[in-house]
């Protein structure tokens, strides 16, 4: 049975080679016309059809493209030719093609193993082919087959390399996201240890335990910084293509993998996420001289989300607000419930965000003006939060100056508003 592989689109270099080979048989043995058909994806991308990719003279492709229905008939005829021995002439040729090309015509299948890659059709009006001329055309066919296989290997390798580079980028982004998420609890542990030290006398037996907490949290922070530096310089090895015996064709184009990590969504009670979070952050804010105000209501409806993701989003928003608010300032957490949505607003009286930076605050590693200041940061927190909000089918907005607190020109503050969908009620 004739087998048509679904080849990758051919390169311009291969088309140029086909054109040159057609001209070669025209000049060398007097062919008056020639067409190279190759198995290419059909319009729906569901299968393969024979498509003309090169012709001599050039006007043949133009003429065939102008007659789409006739071209499809020609392709059907060419499919019938592929079972003929090389050099055997076909008498029952489509009349439209004969009007363009003349007689007699001969089909030479481009075979690679058990596969039919395409067809070289050629002919002349004045006389039939002689045996030496058929042998000459057979050599051209062999060169086209070899060139086609090499072209497909190159296209496939290029495609695989692009996929590997895309996967490498996603993996490195995921590493950086995890490192950033590890920094937050590490800093919180260190802050809690310092608060314990302030409340304990040096002679108390637990004083050394608190010192150990601070010391080990600092050590963990240094290790995370070192690991982050290693990840920055990590270059993944792109797997070498497996050696293929006898220039076998590459496997079929792999389907696009969904590299996005989906989050399972379920009803989440906001107070279960926020209460332990604000209790911890309240101590951190007090240590930095910042007042954290909030009011949590048990009457809030459950939202459609993911508890781990929501914790990371809200932790990033609140920690940023505290970090970029100087001593004496305040941070306000407000929650409002509507019919279909719940909004969570984080206001602060901090340094604010310049208008030029506002469109970029959710971009990875973008810090803008803050990157020139003394406050450390990676530019990943808001990017991680924005990505998680997208996976929750929510929305995240930013405003500066702040919308919910008094502010000054020197300290305009900022407001981040998180929109979440109310979880559907089961009936």
- Residue 344, pLDDT above cutoff 60: yes
Domain final residue, candidates 108, 129, 155:
155
In angstroms, the CA 216 to CA 70 distance is: 78
For position 313, what pLDDT does the model report? 92
pLDDT band at residue 216 using 50, 70 and 90 as cut-offs: confident
pLDDT band at residue 89 using 50, 70 and 90 as cut-offs: very low
Phi and psi (nearest 5°) for 286?
A: -60, -40
User: CB–CB of 87/133 below 8 Å?
Assistant: no
User: Which residues span the domain enclosing 375?
Assistant: 266-421
Instruction: Tell me, yes or no, whether 213 and 135 share the same domain.
Output: no
Q: For 59-88, what is the mean pLDDT?
A: 43
| Top-confidence residue, 250 or 297 | 297
Phi and psi (nearest 5°) for 134?
A: -65, -40
Encode pLDDT of 260-279 as tens digits: 556 789 999 999 889 888 88
In angstroms, the CA 380 to CA 36 distance is: 53
For position 247, what pLDDT does the model report? 43
- Residue 325, pLDDT above cutoff 70: yes
Task: Give the list of residues 6+ apart from residue 197 with CB closer than 8 angstroms, or none.
Answer: 207, 210, 211, 214
pLDDT band at residue 173 using 50, 70 and 90 as cut-offs: confident
In-domain check, residue 255:
no
Instruction: Tell me, yes or no, whether 385 and 403 share the same domain.
Output: yes
- Residue 427, pLDDT above cutoff 70: no
pLDDT band at residue 64 using 50, 70 and 90 as cut-offs: low
- Residue 376, pLDDT above cutoff 60: yes
Instruction: Tell me, yes or no, whether 326 and 224 share the same domain.
Output: no
- Which among 116-120, 192-196, 198-202, 402-406 has the top mean pLDDT? 402-406
- Which among 25-39, 44-58, 314-328 has the top mean pLDDT? 314-328
Instruction: Tell me, yes or no, whether 405 and 277 share the same domain.
Output: yes
Q: For 166-186, what is the mean pLDDT?
A: 73
pLDDT band at residue 78 using 50, 70 and 90 as cut-offs: very low
In angstroms, the CA 294 to CA 224 distance is: 32
In-domain check, residue 245:
no
In-domain check, residue 3:
no
Q: For 20-39, what is the mean pLDDT?
A: 87
Instruction: Tell me, yes or no, whether 117 and 199 share the same domain.
Output: no
Q: What are the beta bridge partners of residue 89?
A: 106
Domain final residue, candidates 138, 155, 172:
155
- Which among 154-163, 190-199, 278-287, 333-342 has the top mean pLDDT? 333-342
Instruction: Tell me, yes or no, whether 103 and 36 share the same domain.
Output: yes
For position 281, what pLDDT does the model report? 85
CATH number at residue 143: 3.30.450.40
- Residue 215, pLDDT above cutoff 90: no
In-domain check, residue 4:
no
C-alpha dihedral, 186 to 187 to 188 to 193, nearest 10°: 90
Encode pLDDT of 93-144 as tens digits: 344 434 434 444 578 888 888 788 888 888 888 888 888 888 898 899 999 9
Q: What's the Cα-to-Cα distance from 5 to each of 8, 109, 117, 372, 380, rounded to whole Å?
A: 9, 14, 7, 57, 45
For position 217, what pLDDT does the model report? 78
In-domain check, residue 186:
yes
For position 235, what pLDDT does the model report? 46
Domain final residue, candidates 155, 178, 209:
155
pLDDT band at residue 364 using 50, 70 and 90 as cut-offs: confident
Over the chain, what HEC string results?
Answer: CCCCCCCCCCCHHHHHHHHHHHHHHHHHHCCCEEEEEEEEECCCCCCEEEEEEEEECCHHHHHHHHCHHHHHHHHHHHHHHCCCCCCCECCCCCHHHHHHHCCCEEEEEEEECCEEEEEEEEECCCCCCCHHHHHHHHHHHHHHHHHHHHHHHHHHHHHHHHHHHHHHHHHHHHHHHHHHHHHHHHHHHHHHHHHHHHHCCCCCCCHHHHHHHHHHHHHHHHHHHHHHHHHHCCCCCCCCCCCCHHHCCCCCCCCCCCCCCCCCCEEECHHHHHHHHHHHHHHHHHHCCCEEEECCCCCCCCEEECHHHHHHHHHHHHHHHHHCCCCCCEEEEEEEECCCEEEEEEEECCCCCCCCCHHHCCCCCCCHHHHHCCCCCCCCHHHHHHHHHHHCCCEEEEECCCCCCCCCCCCCCEEEEEEEEECCCCC
Q: What's the Cα-to-Cα distance from 236 to each of 10, 224, 242, 361, rounded to whole Å?
A: 29, 20, 18, 29
Residue 338 Cα to chain centre, angstroms? 35
The per-residue pLDDT of the chain, averaged, comes to: 77
Instruction: Tell me, yes or no, whether 273 and 411 share the same domain.
Output: yes
pLDDT band at residue 332 using 50, 70 and 90 as cut-offs: very high
Q: For 177-195, what is the mean pLDDT?
A: 77
pLDDT band at residue 10 using 50, 70 and 90 as cut-offs: confident
5-9, 234-238, 290-294, 357-361: least confident range: 234-238
First-residue to last-residue Cα distance in the chain: 57
pLDDT band at residue 245 using 50, 70 and 90 as cut-offs: very low
- Residue 92, pLDDT above cutoff 50: no
Instruction: Tell me, yes or no, whether 149 and 41 share the same domain.
Output: yes
- Residue 329, pLDDT above cutoff 70: yes
In-domain check, residue 246:
no
Q: What are the beta bridge partners of residue 106?
A: 89, 122
R_g over Cα of the chain: 34
Q: How much of the chain, in percent, has pLDDT values that exceed 90?
A: 23
- Residue 165, pLDDT above cutoff 70: yes
pLDDT band at residue 232 using 50, 70 and 90 as cut-offs: low
Q: For 240-254, what is the mean pLDDT?
A: 47
Number of domains in the chain: 3
pLDDT band at residue 251 using 50, 70 and 90 as cut-offs: low
Taken as a whole, the chain contains a residue count of: 427
């Amino acid at each position: 049975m004739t087998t048509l592989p679904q080849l990758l689109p051919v390169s311009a270099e291969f088309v140029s080679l086909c054109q040159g080979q057609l001209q070669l048989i025209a000049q060398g043995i007097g062919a008056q016309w020639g067409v190279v058909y190759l198995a290419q994806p059909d319009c729906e991308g569901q299968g393969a059809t024979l498509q003309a990719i090169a012709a001599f003279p050039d006007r043949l492709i133009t003429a065939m493209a102008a007659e789409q229905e006739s071209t499809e008939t020609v392709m059907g005829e060419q499919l019938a030719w592929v079972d003929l021995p090389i050099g055997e002439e076909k008498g029952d040729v489509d009349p439209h093609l004969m009007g363009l090309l003349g007689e007699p015509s001969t089909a030479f299948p481009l075979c690679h193993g058990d596969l039919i890659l395409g067809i070289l059709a050629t002919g002349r009006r004045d006389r039939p082919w002689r045996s030496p001329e058929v042998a000459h055309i057979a050599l051209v066919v062999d060169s086209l087959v070899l060139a086609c296989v090499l072209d497909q290997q190159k296209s496939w390798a290029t495609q695989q390399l692009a996929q590997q580079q895309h996967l490498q980028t996603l993996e490195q982004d995921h590493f950086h996201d995890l490192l950033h998420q590890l920094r937050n609890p590490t800093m919180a542990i260190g802050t809690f240890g310092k608060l314990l030290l302030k409340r304990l006398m040096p002679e108390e037996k637990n004083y050394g335990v608190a010192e150990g907490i601070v010391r080990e949290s600092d050590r963990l922070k240094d290790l995370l910084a070192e690991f982050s530096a290693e990840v920055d310089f990590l270059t993944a090895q792109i797997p070498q293509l497996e050696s293929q015996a006898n220039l076998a064709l590459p496997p079929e184009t792999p389907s696009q993998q969904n590299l996005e990590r989906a989050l399972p969504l379920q009803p989440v009670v906001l107070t279960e996420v926020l209460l332990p979070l604000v209790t911890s952050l309240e101590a951190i804010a007090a240590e930095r001289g910042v007042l954290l105000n909030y009011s949590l209501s048990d009457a809030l409806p459950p939202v459609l989300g993911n508890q781990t993701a929501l914790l990371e989003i809200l932790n990033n928003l609140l920690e940023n607000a505290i970090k970029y608010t100087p001593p004496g300032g305040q941070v306000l957490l407000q929650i409002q419930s509507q019919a279909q949505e719940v909004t969570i607003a984080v206001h602060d009286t901090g340094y604010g965000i310049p208008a030029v930076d506002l469109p970029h605050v959710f971009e990875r590693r973008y810090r803008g003006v803050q990157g020139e200041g003394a406050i450390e940061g990676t530019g990943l927190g808001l990017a991680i939060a924005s990505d998680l909000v997208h996976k929750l089918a929510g929305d995240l907005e930013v405003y500066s100056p702040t919308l919910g607190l008094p502010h000054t020109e020197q300290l305009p503050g900022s407001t981040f508003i998180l929109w979440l969908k109310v979880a559907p009620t089961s009936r």
